[in-house]
Amino acid sequence: MSEELKKNNYGADSIQALEGIEHVRMRPSMYIGDVGVRGLHHLVYEVVDNSIDEAMGGHCDTISVYINEDNSVTVEDNGRGIPVGLHKKEGVSALEVVMTKIGAGGKFDKDSYKVSGGLHGVGVSVVNALSDNLKATVYRDGKIWEQEYQRGKTVYPVKSVGESDKTGTTVTFHPDDQIFTQTIEYNYETLANRMRELAYLNKGITISITDKRQKDDEGAFFMETFHSDEGLKEFIKFLDSNREPLIHNVISMEGEKNDIPVEVAMIYNNSYTENLHSYVNNINTHEGGTHLSGFRRGLTTTLKKYADSSGMLDKLKFEVSGDDFREGLTAIISVKVAEPQFEGQTKTKLGNREVSSAVSQSVSEMLTNYLEEHPDDAKTIVQKVILAAQARHAATKAREMVQRKSVMSGGGLPGKLSDCSEQDPTKCEVFLVEGDSAGGTAKQGRDRNFQAILPLRGKILNVEKAMQHKVFENEEIKNIYTALGVTIGTEEDSKALNLEKLRYHKVIIMCDADVDGSHIETLILTFFFRYMRELIENGHVYIATPPLYLVKKGSKKSYAWDDKERDEIAESFGGNVGIQRYKGLGEMNAEQLWDTTMNPQFRTLRQVTIDNATESDRIFSMLMGDEVPPRREFIEKNAVYANIDV
């Protein structure tokens, strides 16, 4: 026992609590995944989830989130307020138990409808342990109660600080920079996207987010409010707002099967991509699982039955496959599971067997009704399925060609690839370079031991608008597949990517630092997002950042990556400097390119991550889809990768 504990004469339970807190601080990643940007934002989700639970129990309808000036975050709800009375077993206030006992959560309240609880379901005490300061304010029983904590330790016992007739809980926490050493700065968009998602997933709740660090033109704080009366139905419309619908309505259902609440919404659009988003207890299950396979099964059997009986498939010379029913489909599946078992690499794959049939039955009922009531839409869907089947037939051949080529060793590599000599993929990098001339410079500048160069000709295919077989027939795309050594399709999933033979663990996109360059970068990212998402998810995709300026004075020279840096360097050189603006990679010589952009010692690589798959999907469909006006507006306003959290 530490001296400090002895002095304060804590009871045995408090000591256990402190041990819990110390464990959280020692191994934060075990509780929140990581201590980078993701983990930092996870703190907010954890606190908000507690309020969402209170709302799902029907006790609260408004949640307000504030990013304060000092990057502390306040989450306010109008629920019943966390109980402040004595917790019999622990001998202190229930509020103190919730806040300081790791794993306590709200679980002592058996009646509460607890299905939410964050990615790791760890409870607000973990947030407390990882905050240098946290203040909880409870409005309850006509009084205002308060308690503060520092790094998870109570500063003073719960006290009454005033009177009020409202009820609710307010938590303000400031992330501890001893834990979050990379950054403690919150990203408004990241939090706002999650709040929007939560509002769609939990209809009826009003969730607002205010950024007290930013003011608009009128001097008001930047804020948004999210509220959805129709839930997933509206979520689908939001997701597909940049696509052309194929049928008149969003097909949706909401109900309970075998005690499992199931909500599903879907629509068909005229695109060639399949867009399935699944949630368990408000958590995005990227890796899918039993609820998703239940959805697929329900969809396929119901549509197949309908199509067979309609006679429309009679003339088709080959079988329709499950994939064909999902081309141009956008769907959201949301289930609530009391004891979810999460599996998979990122623990986002639902394992509970019983959920599969619950979802599949719900989907069958929903679709059967819809098809009966909307014969025109039903016909349109089946026609689309037939077209997809025909295109798939063509694509299979094209894909087999890609496969055959990439499986061949050595000799099968694309002629344009300048490979490296190292054989260990974990040490190898490949630069995808825009244009042959920049490719030539990169080839001269690189370290040929571990750096390979694949020049890409001009603009690569926009996969968002292309049918699958066109994608697999495209020269540049075939080159990317063969150069990387990845293969497509497994028994279970015809589109799954096999990364076992990946030849480079860093795949680096290197484009000009101008509008055209960022457009090409987006085209490549769109391709990766739609066809090689596993590559991004496993952290293999990076973006190189070439400098914008060379600032020179006499023998002194320095590179600048933005205008501010350029001006600072100019000033530090005492003004009167020569400035060269790099319009493209081609303007740099091999040595300059190596020094600034390729040399691992000095370069900055930005790793591409999928911060929010649902939002990324929408952004890509907007950037690369048919609707030009929103794209132009977006590109003018933002960097193209605004949402991919690079």
Residues forming contacts to ligand 0RA in the complex (CB under 6 A) are: 50-51, 54, 77, 79-80, 82-83, 106, 109, 112, 169
Where are the extended beta strands (E) located within 408-505?
Answer: 429-434, 451-456, 487-488, 497-498
**Phi-psi category of 121—alpha, beta or left, where left has phi over 0 and alpha has psi -120 to 50?**
left
Task: Indicate which residue of 434, 464, 473, 615 is catalytic.
Answer: 434
**224 in active site:** no
Give min distance, CB of 563 to ligand 0RA, in A. 44
Q: Which is nearer to ligand 0RA, 85 or 600 (CB)?
A: 85
Least separation in angstroms between residue 485's CB and ligand 0RA is 49
Closest residue to ligand 0RA: CB criterion? 50
Beta-carbon contacts of residue 607 (< 8 Å; ≥ 6 apart): 539, 541, 542, 646
CB of 110 to ligand 0RA, least distance (A): 10
Answer whether 350's CB lies under 8 Å from 280's CB.
yes
Closest Cα partner for 526 from 480, 584, 490? Answer: 480
Of the listed 109, 516, 565, 587, which one is catalytic? Answer: 516
Rounded-to-integer distance, Cα 357 and Cα 350, Å: 13
Is 434 one of the catalytic residues?
A: yes
152 by DSSP, 3-state: which? coil
Spatial neighbors of 593 by CB under 8 A, at least 6 apart, are 441, 442, 445, 546, 585
Q: Report the residue number, 138 or 250, with the smaller CB distance to ligand 0RA.
A: 138
Q: How far is the CB of 108 from ligand 0RA (least distance, A)?
A: 7
d(CA 80, CA 166): 9
The one catalytic residue in 372, 514, 563, 591 is 514
Mode of pairing for the β-strands spanning 143-150 and 605-607: unpaired
Give me the least distance between CB of 124 and ligand 0RA, in Å please: 7
CB of 412 to ligand 0RA, least distance (A): 58
The smaller minimum CB distance to ligand 0RA, of residues 131 and 596, is found at 131
Residue 91 Cβ vs ligand 0RA, minimum distance, rounded to whole Å:
18
Q: How far apart are CA 152 and CA 404, in angstroms?
A: 57
234 carries an active-site annotation:
no
Using CA atoms, how far apart are residues 434 and 576, in angstroms rounded to an integer?
34
Question: By C-beta, is 113 or 450 nearer to ligand 0RA?
Answer: 113
Say if CB 137 and CB 170 are below 8 A apart: yes
Alpha-carbon gap, residue 455 to 582, rounded angstroms? 19
522 vs 534: CA distance, rounded Å: 17
User: What does the chain come to in residues?
Assistant: 646
Integer Cα distance of 90 and 96 in angstroms: 9
**Which of 189, 246, 254, 210 shows the shortest CA–CA distance to 228?**
254
Residue 169 or 273 having the CB closest to ligand 0RA: 169
Using CA atoms, how far apart are residues 229 and 121, in angstroms rounded to an integer?
27
Q: Which is nearer to ligand 0RA, 62 or 321 (CB)?
A: 62
- Cβ contacts of 472 within 8 Å, gap of 6 or more: 395, 398, 399, 401, 402, 478
Element (H, E) at 49: helix 37-56
Report the residue number, 50 or 596, with the smaller CB distance to ligand 0RA.
50
When the beta carbons of 50 and 128 are compared against ligand 0RA, the nearer one is 50
Reply yes or no on whether 516 is catalytic: yes
Structure tokens at 148: 């503060």
In whole angstroms, how close is the CB of 409 to ligand 0RA at the nearest point? Answer: 58
Pick the closer one to ligand 0RA by CB: 109 or 287: 109
Asked if 257 and 333 count as a contact pair (C-beta separation under 8 A), the reply is no
How many other C-beta atoms lie within 10 A of the C-beta of residue 556?
A: 12
* Least CB distance to ligand 0RA at residue 50 (A): 3
**Shortest distance (Å) from residue 113 CB to ligand 0RA:** 11
- At 469, phi and psi to the nearest 5? -70, -30
Q: How far is CA 246 from CA 67, 313, 329, 443, 639, in A?
A: 40, 20, 10, 47, 31
Give the active site residue among 49, 90, 323, 512.
512
Half-sphere exposure of 358 (CA within 13 A, CB side): 22
Q: Give 201-262 as a 3 state SS string.
A: HCCCCEEEEEEEEEECCCCCEEEEEEECCCCHHHHHHHHCCCCCECCCCCEEEEEEECCEEE
Separation CA 285–CA 296 (nearest Å): 15
Q: Which is nearer to ligand 0RA, 80 or 151 (CB)?
A: 80
CB nearer to ligand 0RA: give 51 or 278: 51
Closest separation in Å from C-beta 137 to ligand 0RA: 11
> Measured between alpha carbons, how far is 595 from 584 in angstroms, rounded to an integer?
16
Residue placing its CB nearer to ligand 0RA in the complex, 79 or 546: 79
Element (H, E) at 161: strand 159-163
Least Å distance, CB 523 to ligand 0RA, is 44
Active site residues: 434, 512, 514, 516
